[in-house]
Structure formats: C-alpha cells, structure tokens
Structure 1
C-alpha cells in the first residue's frame, strides 16, 4: 500500500489521509517521495527523543532507495506562508480550511522538528551510504544557489 497525504485532511489539521484512500502498486515506484530525517544525537526535548525512536525504524526505507533528493528550504519560516497558500486554495474551492490561529498552531507544532532535524539532513543526509542531491529553494519555491 502507498500512503497518501492531503493538506485538507481532517479539516486541514492533518496531513494524513485515511488508510482507505491508500493505493496499491504492482510495480515499484521509481521516485518515491518521503520526508527524510535521521535521529539527532542529543535531542533537545522528550518529544524529539520520542520521534528519534520512530526514525530508527523508518531508516529501513532508506535502504530501498538509490539516491535521495532533498529540497532544502532557505528558511523554515516559509512553511507558514506555504500553508496559508494551501488553505486559501482549499477555501477558494469551497473546502474547509483552518483559521489564521489554527494555521499558526498547526505549523507551530512542526517547527521544533524542522529546527532540530533540518540542519543534519541538509549537512549530513539521511545516510552516509546513500548519494544525496540537495536543491535549495526560496520562499517562492524557486531553486537558488
């Protein structure tokens, strides 16, 4: 089964779609997409330590990859604007979306992980054995040097 993520799941407050919407694949994916992180050595909070434990199991996925392409954001704060753009698009289509306060609360919950894990992902990658290409983008999602 291939999991799916929808930014309007659960009235916009979750990325996970219900498992009933997952699709089956009979042939391998040539370019799977995933959020890639590696456990950090000295987690700053107990929440990050808990995530580290889950990441140990997730690391098995990296053994299935030939290469990792990392889309590197110049500033994690871009996520607030990007999420607002997604919410505005959903609302324009008549779908439910988050209020500004809900949006801030939602993205705020991801920020500690972004700030903890992204430097290692960008600098060291998810594996020393997996080739990695980093492409840095700006707030408009345009590649930059």
Structure 2
C-alpha cells in the first residue's frame, strides 16, 4: 500500500533544503545578507493555493522550525479600478485584459516596491533584547511594511485596491516570504515567430479558447509579461508549481469551490458563470503552461556570482482529488 505524500510537508522540506542557499536579487537591491527567502507558489484556480499557503505559514512558523513567515498573493496586486479602466480603454478590442486576471492587469511596480520594502525592512529591523528584571531595556520600535490589499467586491465586482490605511502591516524581520498566484512563473515568448507558431497550434486545438482572441491581443499580454520577469521573478529564490492533471479539472475544482460558497454563505457563481469565468484564463494556460511544466523558472537566471539555478523549482503533479501523484525537481 503506497503512502500518500502530504503537500504541506513536501513543500516545507523543499523550502528548508533551500533556506541556506545564496539569495537571488534584482539589480539595485543591495541587501543580500538580510534578504528573506522568497518562495513563489503557482497553481491554477481551484487547486487550493490559499488553503495550502495558510498551512505552510503555520508549519514553518511553528515548532520545530520557528521561522518568521509572511504570505501574500498576486491577487493583492491588481491595478486600481481607474487604471484597469484606462487599460481597457487603451486596448478596446483586447478581451484578454478587459477585466482583471491575466498578466497586464497587475500593478507590477507596486509589487516590486513591496518586495523591496520587505528586503529593506530586514536590514532595518532591530535586534530584540531580553529585558532585565533589574534594569528594563526599552525595545526599539518595530519596523512594519504595509502590504497591498485588493477588494474584489468594490465597483459591482470589478474590484479596486483597498485604501492604504486599511492595508495590513507585516512586522520585520522575515525569514520566508510566500508569494502565490495562478500565473506566477509564466514567461514571455519574445521571439514573435515562435509566439505566432504557438498561437496557430493552440488555436486549432479543441476547445479553441485561444481562437476566440486575435494574435494581436496575445502579443500585448506577452509584452506585459516581460515586466513580471524583471520586477517580480528576479526576487524569487524558490519555486513550487502545483500541476493539475488537465485543464478541464480547473473547471471542476472551481465549480466545487463555488458550491461550497453556496452552502456556507448562500451566494456564489452558478456553474455557467464558473465556466465563463475560468474560460477567460484558458488562453494564458494554453500558451504558457507547457514551458512552466518542463523548464525551471531559474534556468535562464543563474548569475555570475555563483547562485545556482538547480534544485530550486519543485513541481507537484496532483490528481483530481488534489493528492500528490509525483514530485519533480524541474531543471
């Protein structure tokens, strides 16, 4: 009888194996000695990223590891409502970026600023002293980093960034930063002839989600992806990819989540609305997922300083019950 692998413990062990490896950092960020370990967690809608992230925070911050961990999501970094409107008006015929979701609809600079602030907070965070009973020592003020929050309920569901005075404060120092998102790890295909070839192949393969959009719309998304690689991926030290058995499973999982919402809250999307919602993301999966499955996020980013790219990217292949079928270190 085979033993079922636990997702949380499998990922925890992957993180711990890399906790002492040299940190990666983008040009201009000079805090290598104190930079927390940035862990990217990617997986499609419905696969359970939020639940898993919460379990990882609990496992890493609890005994015996006792690490200082903070987590947030690409969902916290969508463009403000007015900027999303402006984007839609700039590309009126591009349905891929008409609403939030795909690359191009995030505030990439806000994300980069937040990553930098988390690194700098580690440099500035005071070393805590134990107070003496005879002569109490006044502890220095803690260093806190405001973390962006996005409220999807605003503007009749179109969403908007929450006011800054409502953003949660993360207190430094940090050992591990968990950052999760459905398209995290997707990379641009800068060779236009190659991108066109992929588009032509995928748009003639059932169920033709990509065929519903012109090549010019895909080109815009691909160009936006370059900024994610430069401004976000350059911070990541470790990567975990949760892989679904097939894209049809994404519809199934997302529908299950909505049925749970109906039971718990008496509200949620219908199955037809789920299908329409998930279909919006399918073109990005069709174009960018295969590369992420086969090639390490770090393959092209090994630096001259000796930072290794191998052993950092873990793929967990899951079945329809979200249980691990196999694990692979992607090189």
Structure 2 partner of 1:50: 220
Q: Which runs of structure 2 are paired with 1:1-145 in the superposition (5 Å)? A: 1-3=146-148, 9-10=152-153, 18-20=160-162, 22-27=167-172, 28=174, 29-34=176-181, 35-40=184-189, 41=191, 42-43=195-196, 44=199, 45-59=215-229, 60-128=231-299, 129=301, 130=309, 131-145=312-326
Number of residue pairs the alignment of both structures matches: 141
1: CA distance, partners of 2:271 / 2:260: 14
> Measured at CA, do residues 70 and 81 of structure 1 come closer, stay the same or move farther in structure 2, by a change above 3 Å?
same
State the SS of the aligned residue for 1:37.
coil
Q: 1:103 to 1:124 in 2, by over 3 A?
A: same
RMSD of aligned Cα (Å) = 2.7
The answer to whether the Cα contact below 8 Å between 1:3 and 1:23 also exists between their aligned partners in 2 is yes
CA distance in 2, matches of 1:124, 1:5: 31
Please identify, of 113-122 and 95-104, the stretch whose mean Cα deviation from structure 2 is larger.
95-104
Distance 1:22 1:61 in 2: 20
Structure 1 pair 100–55 and aligned structure 2 pair: CA distance change class (3 A)? same
Question: Cα deviations across residues 77-126 of structure 1 (Å, max 9, x unaligned)?
Answer: 11101110111111112243112211111111111111111101111233
| C-alpha distance in structure 2 between counterparts of 1:2 and 1:95, whole Å | 30
Mapped to 2, the partners of 1:3 and 1:48 lie a distance apart of: 28
Residues 77, 4 of structure 1: alpha-carbon distance in 2 compared, 3 angstrom cutoff: farther
Secondary structure in 1 matching 2:281: helix
Q: Secondary structure at the match of 1:85?
A: helix
Determine helix, strand or coil for the equivalent of 1:68.
strand
- Please tell me whether the aligned partners of residues 73 and 136 of structure 1 are also in contact (alpha carbons under 8 angstroms): yes
Q: TM-score, normalised by structure 2?
A: 0.38
What is the rounded CA distance, in whole Å, between the counterparts of 1:46 and 1:127 in structure 2? 28
Contact 1:69–1:132 (8 Å) recurs in 2: yes
Does the 8 Å contact 1:4/1:17 carry over to 2? no
CA displacement, residues 33-83 of structure 1 (integer Å, 9 cap, x when unaligned):
232210134152333222112211111211111111111222111110111
- Seen in structure 2, the aligned counterparts of structure 1 residues 53 and 31 have a Cα distance that, compared at 3 Å, is same
- Higher alpha-carbon Rg: 2
